[in-house]
Amino acid sequence: MKAVDVVATAFRNAFRSRLRTSLTVLAIFIGAFTLSLTNGLGTGVNRYLDDTVASVGVEDVMTVTRTDDEAPTEGPAKYDPDQVEADGPPGATTVALSDDDIDTIAGIDGVERVEPVKQVATDYVQHDGSEKYQLSVSQIVPGMEVELASGRQVDLDADEPQLVLPESHLEPLDLGSAQDAVGQTVRLAVTDGTGTQVTTRATIVGVAEPGVISSMGGAIPNDVLVESLFDLQTAGGPEAASTRYGQASVWFDATAGTTEAQALQDRLEDAGYLGSTLEDQLGTFTAVIDGIVLVLNGFAVIALVAAGIGIVNTLFMAVQERTREVGLMKAMGLSSGRVFSLFSIEAVVIGLVGSTLGVLGAIGAGQLVNGFSGALLADLPGLTLVAFDPVTVATVVLAVLAIAFLAGTLPALRAARQDPISSLRYE
């Protein structure tokens, strides 16, 4: 019997006992369906995090602040004139960095470049006589981006003030749609060092969609606008106010690996500074998601193990029912290897049918989930809750086929080792 004949015979024999085989296929379907759906959930959420990660930071930039060893673990902190407002919860403060600190950080081994982050607190934003509304601004570094509803990212090197405006400000400022807002100008106000309110203008080059992990709830300015607002804010005040920074951005070699990045963080800590990488900021998100997916995959694997036991039972019964048939085939010259292949392929066929149906069912269920979640998660534009990666789908199918093959090994060995004379006498 040729190899092609062995495969064709195995396909026919796999469903000779339709009810028993169908129940085994159903067990495999449940495991493959669950495994595919949970992996699709993890892929969808992680892909959304990857797509929006550019709004949080870039891999080769570390956020550095001054270590505050005197910060109390509970109760209010004492007033410190060297502290400035920090990014984070309302009221959060940090010890200010000075130009001397910037020079110190620049001299630490592993630091390629350092730039101070100038804190700007705007009073309001206004457009052509509209009502005045509060607006925060967040400085970004090259490589950081936000999800846009319209327009483009700010040009950090442009000579004219630019900003990306949050979508939530369109209607209050009478800017119309996101497309209509691009190209229009707004007035930003700050209070200078003398207590006088002063304003400057900026052009809207893009409109930002809300993001789930973005800490930037306000406008994204380019460097010229940041410098303009900072100069206006510090004008007339003490000279020290213009050289006090909440944090600094440090560029380092991200390709050197996590070990070198950790070593740089250790060197910064020894010098009295705290460095935070992009991985530090997103590690909790990804760890929680991967943990949930891992637990759910555990249930799917249990189902597949149970399905493997079903394959063993199905094929053992098939071997027993076809004992005389096996003996006749071996008596006619069919080798033990061919007999082993015949029953092993039957197991693989059962696994292939069950896994294929399970994957297709998971894809269909994923489409339904995405349809329902689109309305429930409307505040998270761009999120596809369940997404299927072709490599992951193929891996699930191959994994099930491997389990099916291993499960069919024992029955196949039993059939291959049967004595043809004894098998022909079997009743």
Query: Is residue 285 a contact partner of residue 47, using CB atoms and an 8 Å limit?
Result: no
Residues 6 or more apart in contact with residue 277 via CB below 8 angstroms: 57, 59, 62, 261, 265
**Residues 37, 388 contacting (CB under 8 angstroms):** no
Structure tokens at 68: 């505050």
Nearest to 213 by CA among 57, 73, 331: 57
Residue 23: its pLDDT value, please? 84
| pLDDT score for 359 | 93
Tell me whether residue 213 is exposed, middle or buried, using C-beta atoms within 10 angstroms of its C-beta: 0 to 12, 13 to 18, 19 or more.
middle
Give the Cα separation of 10 and 405 in Å (integer).
13
Cβ-contact 315, 347 below 8 angstroms: yes
At position 67, the amino acid (one-letter code) is T
Distance, CA of 172 to CA of 179 (rounded, Å): 16
Cβ-proximal residues to 107 (8 Å cutoff; 6+ apart), any chain? none
pLDDT for residue 381: 62
- Tens digit of each residue's pLDDT (9 = 90 or more) over 127-169: 988 899 998 887 777 777 777 889 999 998 899 999 999 888 9
pLDDT for residue 215: 44
| Contact assessment for residue 407 and residue 309, using Cβ atoms and an 8 Å cutoff | yes
In the block, residue with structure tokens 């072709």: 390
Q: Are 338 and 344 in contact (CB under 8 A)?
A: no
- Supply the pLDDT for residue 90: 40
- Residue 260 and residue 109 in contact, taking contact as beta carbons nearer than 8 Å: no
Predicted model pTM: 0.58
- 359-to-32, 120, 329, 390, 406 alpha-carbon distances in Å: 6, 52, 36, 11, 21
Buried b (16+ CB within 10 A) or exposed e, 40-66: bbbbbbbebbeebbbbbbbebbbbbbb
Angle subtended at Cα 145 by Cα 143 and Cα 146, rounded to the nearest 5 degrees: 170
CB distance 423 to 320 below 8 Å: no
Task: Look at residues 214, 377, 396, 391 and name the one whose alpha carbon lies nearest to residue 303.
Answer: 396
pLDDT of 187? 93
List beta partners, residue 84. Answer: 94
Do 208 and 167 touch, CB atoms closer than 8 A?
Answer: yes
pLDDT in tens, the chain (427 residues): 566 666 677 667 777 777 878 888 888 898 889 888 888 888 887 777 666 655 556 778 888 888 755 544 554 544 444 444 444 444 444 578 888 999 999 999 999 999 888 888 889 999 988 899 998 887 777 777 777 889 999 998 899 999 999 888 999 999 999 999 999 999 999 998 888 999 999 999 999 887 544 444 578 899 999 999 988 988 887 776 677 888 888 999 988 888 888 999 999 999 989 888 877 766 666 677 777 777 777 877 787 788 788 888 777 777 777 777 767 777 777 777 777 888 788 888 888 999 999 999 999 998 888 887 766 666 666 677 788 888 888 988 998 898 888 888 888 888 777 766 665 665 5
Burial class (CB in 10 A: 0-12, 13-18, 19+), 243: middle
φ and ψ at residue 113, rounded to 5 degrees = -160, 150
The pLDDT, as a whole number, for residue 424 is 60
Residue 280 backbone dihedrals phi, psi, to 5 degrees: -65, -40
Element (H, E) at 85: strand 83-85
CA–CA separation, 131 and 173 (whole Å): 7
Task: Report how far apart the first and last C-alpha atoms of the chain are (Å, whole number).
Answer: 26
CA distance 410 to 63: 58
CA 291, 294, 296, 298: dihedral to nearest 10 degrees? -140
